[in-house]
Chain A
Amino acid sequence: MIINRREAIRIAGALALGSAAGSPAFAQSGTPKRGGTLTVQLSGEQRVLNPAIRASTGVYIVTSKIMEPLVDLDASGVPAAVLATSWTSAPDGKTHTFKLREGVTWHDGKPFTSADVQYTAMEMWKKYLNYGTQLQQYLEAVETPDATTAVFKYSRPMPQNLLLRALCDLGYIAPRHVFEGTNILDNPANTAPIGTGPFKFVQYERGQFIIADRNPNYWRKDFPYLDRIVWRFIIDKAAAAAALETGQTQLSTYNALSLADLDRLKTDARFTVTSKGLEANAFNNTLEFNTRRKELSDVRVRQAIAQAIDVPFFIENFIYGQGKPATGPIPSVSTAFYTEAPPPYKLDVKKANALLDEAGYKRGAGGTRFTLKLVPIQNGEDVPLLATFIQQSLSQVGIKVDILNLDSAGALATVYRDWNFDLATGWHQYRGDPAVSTTVWYRSGSPKGAPWTNQYGWKNDAVDKMIDDAAAELDPVKRKALYAEWVKAVNADIPVWMMIERTFQTAISKKVQGALNMPRWGSGDWHDTWIES
């Protein structure tokens, strides 16, 4: 007992020192070494391993090593050539021509051609890929004048910078010859992917592991360095931390460890804990208001709720300082679109009470004004913590909150399909451009049941117009200004409150080199990653 406590105090002290000194920079050194196996922890089961029909970090962390996109981010966060080598856009923004890489073959030996691009874009991105259906809704055709040219034709202007940035996530190419003439969603290649990437899929054992081996015919000569990547499913976070510490795994990314363990491992010399290499995957903790509920249809009530919650206190004390109050739906890491502003709401319990009184909801028996049902949409351990904190905070202003615990699928169905909630809290993931996966949270007219979209019964014609205009604006400066105006509008009306801006954390063994070297490294191809002996 005493030793444990002493040790705990020692660790606590070390943590305080560590955070004061700041985390050491990730060092890259030495000559790359060939061979070896990288073992990666996965915190959840994947039912689909095809990034052309399912956009999710859980899919990318595996399949981005096996399949490749047209373009991907470089070290400085600019879209760079992968399967596409160059691109030009017509001045009206309706035609985008991609030159494709020559001499690339699929893992089954067939050549990669523009027909694959045409098929994937029209049959997968436009029809099934979440966010892709929205992004490509005005894509009319992909023309293939020759085997290495793909011409994207849009019926409305598509800004080139939006298209390129979006294609880093939503631009993975699937093999036409494998999918054509089959039911795409039932195709076995969705769980045994065939790609052009540096690693070839070997085996997927449900609930156990996924294995991919080095692709000797990879188009980047002499890459990759690693012989094999093994992804192990370890759902229990304590077990995942133990696996990392005993060397059974070398990498846990996208917050796959508990916040407490991430904080603890910061001071362990064997590991790097950082948000570097995941900057492109900023996310927000959200609070969504179902405006079909009478009380919540009043903007004063929504604003009162936002002013009853002490967000900085939550960040500092509940989630180990891993985040900052958000200033709107566009995170500060997105320099191309972010406009400096203070957080729209801060704690003011007096004002919150006054707003609620003004809206006509006086305190009744026991000091309660009304009761709301809060559905946490499970994503990380911070979601239930925030749900509890919202419950605690709102009780101070006379709003009783009942938390309804459901599993992840149940919560998504309850909130986005059945609309059976008053408040919901989960994550909004930002993907480099507000038009990719952010404006859908506000645009009216999403099909019922589409998760992470506006399902709160909220409609604002001015906001809808701003979203549509910005998505078709070709001038980057004007686009940024339009989004700044849009952020102001949605902050004032808050159908959903982006409470906290967060970045994911990676815990990685220092033996792993060639890592964290681009802003979506967790979803990168790892062709230049190697392991120090």
Chain B
Amino acid sequence: MTGSLARYAKNPAALLGLVLLLAVIAMALLAPILFPKDPLSLAGRPLQWPDLGGRFPLGTDNSGRDIAAQIFHGAQVSLLIGLVATTISIAIGIVVGALAGFYGGWIDDALMRVTEAFQTLPNFLLLLVLVAVFGSDITTVTVAIGLVSWPATARLTRAEFLTLRNREFVQACRVLGMGDLRIIFREILPNALPPVIVYASVVMAIAILLESALAFLSLSDPNIASWGNLIGAGRNVLRVQWYVSAIPGVAILLTVLAVSLVGQGLNDALNPRLRRNPKP
């Protein structure tokens, strides 16, 4: 493990990602201290341009809300949605993939057909349907994002299980009389996990983007300060007050970039042989 850490520390892109991610986390933690007021409350005249030295360093949006406050509070929302949705999606994916890969046969067939059924639907369309049916409060949106983004994880886990299930150590476990669940979760899963962890970072980035896309269409929860809501609101004034959409856009870009770089770094650190640019 120390070897992995050292490899991660030597990777400048991964370090940059980590720094950015820590910055976003710091923003989320500092939000209630720096901006104790409700970020959705009326702060001043709408559409004031960003003024770094003034009362509104990032300006106000077309509802007179402080953009800086929304960016900081929005970091909380984005991270929360990212983490919870990713956890849901990875949990479903691992269970489905592990069962399918381990048992094979009709269980595999059944589970993979279901997975493929999900994959044939573009996940954003499915998300729109779920939100239209169950409403758009933040819990529903988060769970819905988790529910639409598990198929890839399931397939990845299944592939890992397929390669691992007939290895000697698994056969040894069988001979020792271990139960299936113990073999799956205690023996095979830890070995199958590294690529899944790396993929989790992709899921997290997608989850943040999906919420923003929903908010852009005014279908996310309007009662919270999310970056996507801000972009959606700014769309109407894009031609003149472009900063209303651009600032949260940059925030989303940097956060997704950070998560992706960290994921890539983890990938290189955990699977050194798969590294894209092996150094001599």
Check if B236 sits within 8 Å of A388, measured CB to CB: no
- Contact among B64, B135, B239 with A318 in the assembled complex (CB-CB below 8 Å): B64
Known: A4-B242, A405-B136. A384 touches B42 (CB 8 A): no
| A387: B residues at CB distance < 8 A | 222
Query: Within A442-466, which residues are at the interface with B (CB < 8 Å)?
Result: none
Known: A389-B63, A392-B40, A392-B42. A405 touches B219 (CB 8 A): yes
Asked if B10 is at the interface of the complex by the 8 Å CB criterion, the answer is no
Task: Across the interface, name the chain A residue whose C-beta is closest to B218.
Answer: A405
Asked if B6 is at the interface of the complex by the 8 Å CB criterion, the answer is no
Asked if A180 is at the interface of the complex by the 8 Å CB criterion, the answer is no
CA distance A244 to B258 in the complex (A): 40
- Contact among A238, A392, A403, A404 with B238 in the assembled complex (CB-CB below 8 Å): A238
- Contact among B40, B45, B237, B241 with A317 in the assembled complex (CB-CB below 8 Å): B45
| B45: A residues at CB distance < 8 A | 317
CA distance A237 to B238 in the complex (A): 10
- Contact among A237, A264, A385, A404 with B63 in the assembled complex (CB-CB below 8 Å): A385
CA distance A238 to B38 in the complex (A): 30
CA distance A392 to B43 in the complex (A): 10
Check if B239 sits within 8 Å of A407, measured CB to CB: no
Check if B235 sits within 8 Å of A12, measured CB to CB: no
Check if B242 sits within 8 Å of A258, measured CB to CB: no
Query: Within B33-56, which residues are at the interface with A (CB < 8 Å)?
Result: 38, 40-42, 45-47, 49
Check if B236 sits within 8 Å of A381, measured CB to CB: yes
Task: Across the interface, name the chain B residue whose C-beta is closest to A388.
Answer: B63
- Contact among B49, B136, B239 with A241 in the assembled complex (CB-CB below 8 Å): B239
| A384: B residues at CB distance < 8 A | 218, 222, 233
Asked if B274 is at the interface of the complex by the 8 Å CB criterion, the answer is no
Check if A260 sits within 8 Å of B46, measured CB to CB: no
| A402: B residues at CB distance < 8 A | 223
| B64: A residues at CB distance < 8 A | 317-318, 389, 392
Check if A11 sits within 8 Å of B240, measured CB to CB: yes
| B237: A residues at CB distance < 8 A | 258, 260
Asked if A436 is at the interface of the complex by the 8 Å CB criterion, the answer is no
Asked if B175 is at the interface of the complex by the 8 Å CB criterion, the answer is no
| A258: B residues at CB distance < 8 A | 236-237
Task: Across the interface, name the chain B residue whose C-beta is closest to A378.
Answer: B218
| A318: B residues at CB distance < 8 A | 46, 62-64
Task: Across the interface, name the chain B residue whose C-beta is closest to A245.
Answer: B239
CA distance A403 to B135 in the complex (A): 12
**CB 8 Å contact bits of B205-240 with A (1 = contact, 0 = none):** 000000000000011111100000000010111111
Known: A318-B63, A385-B63, A407-B132. A392 touches B240 (CB 8 A): no
Task: Across the interface, name the chain A residue whose C-beta is closest to B242.
Answer: A4
Check if B236 sits within 8 Å of A260, measured CB to CB: yes
Asked if A393 is at the interface of the complex by the 8 Å CB criterion, the answer is yes
Task: Across the interface, name the chain A residue whose C-beta is closest to B42.
Answer: A392
**CB 8 Å contact bits of A393-409 with B (1 = contact, 0 = none):** 10100000011110100
Known: A318-B63, A405-B219, A407-B132. A391 touches B40 (CB 8 A): yes
| B235: A residues at CB distance < 8 A | 237-238
CA distance A407 to B132 in the complex (A): 9
User: How many positions in chain A have a CB within 8 Å of any CB in the partner chain?
Assistant: 30
User: How many positions in chain B have a CB within 8 Å of any CB in the partner chain?
Assistant: 29
In the assembled complex, how far is the CB of residue B39 from the closest CB belonging to chain A, in whole angstroms?
11
Asked if A16 is at the interface of the complex by the 8 Å CB criterion, the answer is no
**CB 8 Å contact bits of B150-185 with A (1 = contact, 0 = none):** 000000000000000000000000000000000000
Asked if A8 is at the interface of the complex by the 8 Å CB criterion, the answer is yes
| A11: B residues at CB distance < 8 A | 240
In the assembled complex, how far is the CB of residue A244 from the closest CB belonging to chain B, in whole angstroms?
12
CA distance A260 to B245 in the complex (A): 14
Asked if A515 is at the interface of the complex by the 8 Å CB criterion, the answer is no
| A389: B residues at CB distance < 8 A | 42, 63-64
In the assembled complex, how far is the CB of residue B54 from the closest CB belonging to chain A, in whole angstroms?
15
Check if A388 sits within 8 Å of B40, measured CB to CB: yes
| A392: B residues at CB distance < 8 A | 40-42, 63-64
CA distance A298 to B191 in the complex (A): 65
CA distance A261 to B218 in the complex (A): 20
CA distance A410 to B242 in the complex (A): 31
CA distance A385 to B62 in the complex (A): 8
Asked if A259 is at the interface of the complex by the 8 Å CB criterion, the answer is yes
Most chain A beta-carbon neighbours within 10 Å: one of B47, B64, B236: B236
| B47: A residues at CB distance < 8 A | 317
| A407: B residues at CB distance < 8 A | 132
In the assembled complex, how far is the CB of residue A235 from the closest CB belonging to chain B, in whole angstroms?
12
In the assembled complex, how far is the CB of residue A178 from the closest CB belonging to chain B, in whole angstroms?
37
In the assembled complex, how far is the CB of residue B224 from the closest CB belonging to chain A, in whole angstroms?
10
CA distance A260 to B238 in the complex (A): 9
In the assembled complex, how far is the CB of residue A315 from the closest CB belonging to chain B, in whole angstroms?
12
| B46: A residues at CB distance < 8 A | 317-318
**CB 8 Å contact bits of A261-282 with B (1 = contact, 0 = none):** 1001000000000000000000
| A261: B residues at CB distance < 8 A | 239
| A4: B residues at CB distance < 8 A | 242
Query: Within B121-154, which residues are at the interface with A (CB < 8 Å)?
Result: 132, 135-136
CA distance A387 to B222 in the complex (A): 10
Query: Within B232-280, which residues are at the interface with A (CB < 8 Å)?
Result: 233, 235-242
Task: Across the interface, name the chain A residue whose C-beta is closest to B234.
Answer: A260
CA distance A416 to B186 in the complex (A): 56
CA distance A12 to B48 in the complex (A): 12
In the assembled complex, how far is the CB of residue B44 from the closest CB belonging to chain A, in whole angstroms?
9
8 inter-chain pairs at a CB distance below 8 angstroms, sorted by A residue, are A238-B235, A241-B239, A317-B46, A317-B64, A318-B46, A391-B223, A402-B223, A407-B132
Hey, which bits of chain A sit against chain B, CB under 8 A?
4, 8, 11-12, 237-238, 241, 258-261, 264, 317-318, 381, 384-385, 387-389, 391-393, 395, 402-405, 407, 410
Q: Please list the 7 inter-chain residue pairs (A to B) with the smallest Cβ-Cβ separation, ordered nearest first.
A: A392-B42, A258-B236, A260-B237, A388-B63, A403-B222, A317-B46, A381-B236
Apart from A241-B239, A317-B46, A410-B132, 15 more pairs, CB < 8 Å: A12-B240, A238-B238, A260-B236, A260-B237, A261-B239, A264-B239, A317-B47, A318-B62, A384-B218, A384-B222, A402-B223, A403-B222, A403-B223, A404-B135, A405-B221
